[in-house]
Amino acid sequence: MTLDAVLDRIDSDLDAALERLFTLLRIPSISTDPAYNDACQSAADWLVADLASLGVEAEARPTPGHPMVVGHVGEGAPHLLFYGHYDVQPVDPLELWDRDPFDPAIEDSAHGKLIRGRGTADDKGQLMTFVEACRAWKAVHGTWPCKITFLFEGEEESGSPSLVPFLEANKDELSAPDLALICDTSMFNRETPAITTMLRGLLGEEVIITGADRDLHSGYYGGAAINPIRVLSRIIASLHDDTGRITVPGFYDGVHETPEAIKNQWKTLGFEARDFLGAVGLSELAGEEGRTALEQVWARPTCEVNGITGGYTGDGFKTVLPAQASAKISFRLVGEQDPFAIRESFRKMVTDMLPPDCSVEFKDHGAGPASVMSTENPAFEAARSALSDEWPNEAAFLGGGGSIPIAGHFKEILGLDSMLIGFGLDDDALHAPNEKYDLASFHKGARSWARVLAAVTR
Amino acid sequence: MTLDAVLDRIDSDLDAALERLFTLLRIPSISTDPAYNDACQSAADWLVADLASLGVEAEARPTPGHPMVVGHVGEGAPHLLFYGHYDVQPVDPLELWDRDPFDPAIEDSAHGKLIRGRGTADDKGQLMTFVEACRAWKAVHGTWPCKITFLFEGEEESGSPSLVPFLEANKDELSAPDLALICDTSMFNRETPAITTMLRGLLGEEVIITGADRDLHSGYYGGAAINPIRVLSRIIASLHDDTGRITVPGFYDGVHETPEAIKNQWKTLGFEARDFLGAVGLSELAGEEGRTALEQVWARPTCEVNGITGGYTGDGFKTVLPAQASAKISFRLVGEQDPFAIRESFRKMVTDMLPPDCSVEFKDHGAGPASVMSTENPAFEAARSALSDEWPNEAAFLGGGGSIPIAGHFKEILGLDSMLIGFGLDDDALHAPNEKYDLASFHKGARSWARVLAAVTR
């Protein structure tokens, strides 16, 4: 049976596959920081060259930001579009890393070997599971399983500013596929693979509050002049009520209760809030009262402060009364919440809270609605069965707390359904120091894609 | 008359005096940042050499932090101790400076010439007004007006950690003088010199709140895990009530109402809150309701946030749920408020507000009580008269919003009264970008000290 031959090929080629992955991981493609623009271009170029070596007609197409890698290859139905992203998160605080984030290595852990480094799990390691499955398929068969379009983005970690214009400008070309495969999600746990069918949306806002026209000496002006840090703190403190509900007017419009059937399915997953929180040193759910942990992270909207700064933040002390303070605030959205209506309501709420002499500037860091996948497409059940063959437990359909706006954009702009399959784990330290990807995620991930390709083209 | 000869000498030596000041200003003696330790030592050494050139027995004495410059010279009563500090504030945000902070220059302004650079007003320029007065006196008379002890500190901008131990260890030597002269305060305005007779105390605290044991992805944990920025914002928002009063339990113990007589004297100063605030782009008093501007900045205690940081604060956006957030918070104290009791009450209040899974660490950034000078010493009236001879308006006794804990330490440890005379102005941009010192402050400041020396030794 040729699937077995493909799986054997993946096994025997593992060392070489890791070498390729490490080469990609060494490129510091931090998309949000202009200092790494050249690295983003290099990562795109490397992917183009790797795809070309497999016979894919690939190119790095320029955008106003970082390039889009687009490739086409193969023949036959279904026509699949595979999406991943080659950019990574910033690495600060660098001092909390145990090794250079861009010098990846295999390490031993209690759960077996893992790959340590920025981008291992998010998303270079995941992206390469699909490429390696294709490489093995091509090596064994000499042909491709079906027509495949590759789309690798370089701005996923910085709000994807070029994505929508690019999809719209290339709509004819990119709407041809029948189904999108997106590899940027997690398994349910080490034994249980997953297809993510609900994803929260994301609204990112930066709020910059200005008081005096310069930094003041708190001795001379303290007590008389407005302090923007205090103003900002009051605004942040008012965004939630005492039960953890968000107070932005109209925020819950379009939020639906999770159906009992889904809640019951989630109960069977054996998810323990204690373990989920305990893994990161916490013990109590801090979200909306009366909601389970899975509801809080999969099915309920949130408002978080992702960063705050103002005044003197270096060593020692400086009695400054600062002119400015700012915060980066994000909202995770569910159901039919309208990110643009919420942005408007949030900005009005903040503006209404400003005391005299304060002004506010808002910066837009992206807005995407939640996605709920249509699991009626038979490819979903075929993929679920294929994944179940590779892993100890049967694959689950589940919700995802993170936002992958691409699935919404594929649906809206290209009319394309997405199937989200990924091999990340909750302890991968995404966006944090010491990011890692289990070696099993990488190896069995590639094997999983080979099985899925076989299943959906059968 | 020999005072006129001293004043003429100061006038004719002005260019050389500026050259000396510029040499001192070019040394980046930022005491709070260990990267500038060598610069602090260099500034101390330069002062020792300059004093020695005038015949002062001076030395830079080591401390666990930056050196203390101590010098003795002259004979006769009264024995004066002159205090200034040679360290300066950090310069960030550097991009807001119109020139290199450590490359001082004379610039033209609407109010005449000024000296631009870090430390011009706080405190190197002020310190050198006294040294230049002494230099001219020595040049004209060949002798000193009286016995003078110099004490120049290098840690005033970083909480003076070595000061109290140094005063205690050198109590016999430093308690010999009859009166301390401190040059680190301002005039009332460009025409009106001042002797500051009330000074607010200062308590500096850093609050570091920790939640999870690592930074989390807000998509995976947002909605379920505690966010230390939100916790910190709630704490900061709770430190004041809606009328601007501070809510720390027991905070107002020892705060006395300003006597009507003093309030009436302040009314005659023609101080306009509109001008005071308008100078920095503000229009409304933001402090305690029902208090005048001068009460708010001279006679009432405050609580300010001087800095805050947490999560991702770089360019772009990062959907991190941070493990930690911290703030630098300072309290200005008046009357008999006890900084140590307030520190304890503040820390208890913060600790009591912590939700589950959060811990707090406090860092001590200094604590000094308020000072109220005893103006019955005839030197005060003599100095007031001498200052009035130099400037257009009569000199005023007034309060000071800033904290100069040294005056309290001189009283407590050395039993020494202090007379605070300085030539700074409200628009000097202390602790801020583009710090300056009016050339008139420097020139007429030196002339003022010559007059004060003549008056108190008459």
Considering the domain architecture, whether residues A56 and A157 belong to the same structural domain is answered as yes
Considering the domain architecture, whether residues B46 and B77 belong to the same structural domain is answered as yes
pLDDT at A56: 98
The DSSP element (H or E) to which A294 belongs, if any, is: helix A293-294
DSSP state of B74: -
Q: In angstroms, rounded to a whole number, what is the distance separating the alpha carbons of residues B180 and B81?
A: 5
Last residue of a domain, one of A368, A389, A423: A368
CA distances from B85 to A137, A263, B122, B153, B421 (A): 75, 67, 8, 5, 14
Decide if pLDDT at B261 tops 80.
no
- pLDDT, mean of residues A334-355: 96
Give the model confidence (pLDDT) of A20-35 as tens digits.
Answer: 999 999 999 999 999 9
Considering the domain architecture, whether residues B165 and B313 belong to the same structural domain is answered as no
Q: Is residue B245 part of a domain?
A: yes
Decide if pLDDT at B335 tops 70.
yes
- Percent of chain A having pLDDT more than 90? 81
Give the model confidence (pLDDT) of A188-208 as tens digits.
Answer: 899 999 999 888 889 999 999
Last residue of a domain, one of A328, A351, A368: A368
pLDDT-based confidence at residue A353 (cuts at 50, 70, 90): very high
CB B136 within 8 A of CB B130: no
- Mean pLDDT, chain B, as a whole number? 94
For chain B, what's the residue count? Answer: 458
Q: Is residue A217 part of a domain?
A: yes
Q: CB-based contact (8 Å) between B232 and chain A?
A: yes
Handedness of CA B41, B46, B49, B50 (dihedral sign): negative
Q: Is residue A269 part of a domain?
A: no
Do the Cβ atoms of B218 and A159 come within 8 Å? no
Considering the domain architecture, whether residues A218 and A346 belong to the same structural domain is answered as yes
Q: Is residue A268 part of a domain?
A: no
Of A226, A280, A310, the CB nearest to B214: A280
pLDDT at A403: 67
Look up the pTM and report it: 0.72
* Domain around A50: 2-199+370-456
DSSP string, A92-138: -SGGG-SS-TTS-EEE--TTS-EEESTTTTTTHHHHHHHHHHHHHHH
Decide if pLDDT at B401 tops 70.
no
Last residue of a domain, one of A368, A397, A412: A368
Considering the domain architecture, whether residues A136 and A245 belong to the same structural domain is answered as no
DSSP state of A306: E
Inter-chain Cβ pairs, chain A and chain B, closer than 8 A? 358
pLDDT at A374: 75
pLDDT-based confidence at residue B3 (cuts at 50, 70, 90): very high
Backbone angles phi, psi at A197, to 5 degrees: -115, -5
Q: In angstroms, rounded to a whole number, what is the distance separating the alpha carbons of residues B309 and B313?
A: 8
Of A159, A308, A314, the CB nearest to B317: A159
Do the Cβ atoms of A233 and B230 come within 8 Å? no
Q: CB-based contact (8 Å) between B329 and chain A?
A: no
DSSP state of B404: -
- pLDDT, mean of residues B381-396: 93
Binding-face residues of B in 84-123 toward A, CB within 8 A: 89-90, 92, 96
Identify the three-state secondary structure at position A381.
helix
- Mean pLDDT, chain A, as a whole number? 94
Considering the domain architecture, whether residues B53 and B105 belong to the same structural domain is answered as yes
Q: Which residue of B has its CA nearest to A426?
A: B220
- pLDDT, mean of residues B96-105: 96
Q: CB-based contact (8 Å) between B158 and chain A?
A: yes
pLDDT at A401: 66
pLDDT at B397: 81
Q: CB-based contact (8 Å) between A155 and chain B?
A: no
User: What's the gap in Å between the CA of A164 and the closest CA on chain B?
Assistant: 18
pLDDT at A1: 60
The CATH number linked to A31 is 3.40.630.10
Backbone angles phi, psi at A58, to 5 degrees: -125, 150
Of B218, B286, B403, the CB nearest to A304: B218
Give the model confidence (pLDDT) of B351-377 as tens digits.
Answer: 999 999 999 999 999 898 888 887 778
Do the Cβ atoms of A297 and B223 come within 8 Å? yes
- pLDDT, mean of residues B398-419: 85
Decide if pLDDT at B122 tops 90.
yes
Identify the three-state secondary structure at position B5.
helix
- pLDDT, mean of residues B10-24: 98
Q: In angstroms, rounded to a whole number, what is the distance separating the alpha carbons of residues B458 and B452?
A: 10
Do the Cβ atoms of B222 and A297 come within 8 Å? yes
Considering the domain architecture, whether residues A86 and A222 belong to the same structural domain is answered as no
Do the Cβ atoms of A287 and B332 come within 8 Å? no
Q: Which of A25-39, B202-216, B389-403 shows the lowest mean pLDDT across its residues?
A: B389-403
User: Interhelix angle for A37-53 vs A14-25, to 10°?
Assistant: 150
Give the model confidence (pLDDT) of A48-94 as tens digits.
Answer: 999 999 999 999 999 999 999 999 999 999 999 999 999 999 999 89
Q: Is residue A397 part of a domain?
A: yes
Q: Is residue A140 part of a domain?
A: yes
Which residues have CB under 8 Å from A361's CB, separation 6+? A207, A208, A210
Give the model confidence (pLDDT) of B423-439 as tens digits.
Answer: 999 899 999 999 999 99
Q: In angstroms, rounded to a whole number, what is the distance separating the alpha carbons of residues B177 and B273?
A: 39
- Percent of chain A having pLDDT more than 70? 99
Q: For chain B, how many structural domains are there in total?
A: 2
DSSP string, A219-285: HHHTTTS--HHHHHHHHHHTTB-TTS-B-STTTTTT--PPPHHHHHHHHTTT--HHHHHHTTT--S-
Q: Is residue A318 part of a domain?
A: yes
pLDDT at B1: 60
| Interface with B, mutate which of A320, A326, A337, A358 (most B CBs under 10 A) | A320
Query: Taking the CA of residue B399 as centre, how many other CA atoms within 13 Å lie in the half-sphere pointing to its CB?
Result: 26
| Interface with B, mutate which of A431, A435, A436 (most B CBs under 10 A) | A431
Q: CB-based contact (8 Å) between B452 and chain A?
A: no
Binding-face residues of A in 175-214 toward B, CB within 8 A: 186, 200, 202, 204, 206, 211-214
CB A183 within 8 A of CB A127: yes
Considering the domain architecture, whether residues B76 and B118 belong to the same structural domain is answered as yes
Q: Which residue of A has its CA nearest to B199?
A: A219
Do the Cβ atoms of B224 and A315 come within 8 Å? no
Considering the domain architecture, whether residues B214 and B289 belong to the same structural domain is answered as yes
- pLDDT, mean of residues A165-186: 96
- pLDDT, mean of residues B197-204: 89
Q: In angstroms, rounded to a whole number, what is the distance separating the alpha carbons of residues A425 and B162?
A: 51
Considering the domain architecture, whether residues B411 and B363 belong to the same structural domain is answered as no
pLDDT at B362: 98
Considering the domain architecture, whether residues B19 and B164 belong to the same structural domain is answered as yes
pLDDT at A412: 87
Give the model confidence (pLDDT) of B38-94 as tens digits.
Answer: 999 999 999 999 999 999 999 999 999 999 999 999 999 999 999 999 999 999 989
Considering the domain architecture, whether residues B299 and B443 belong to the same structural domain is answered as no
Q: Is residue B275 part of a domain?
A: no
Decide if pLDDT at B267 tops 90.
no
CB B401 within 8 A of CB B420: no
- pLDDT, mean of residues B143-163: 96
CB A221 within 8 A of CB B284: no
Do the Cβ atoms of B224 and A285 come within 8 Å? yes
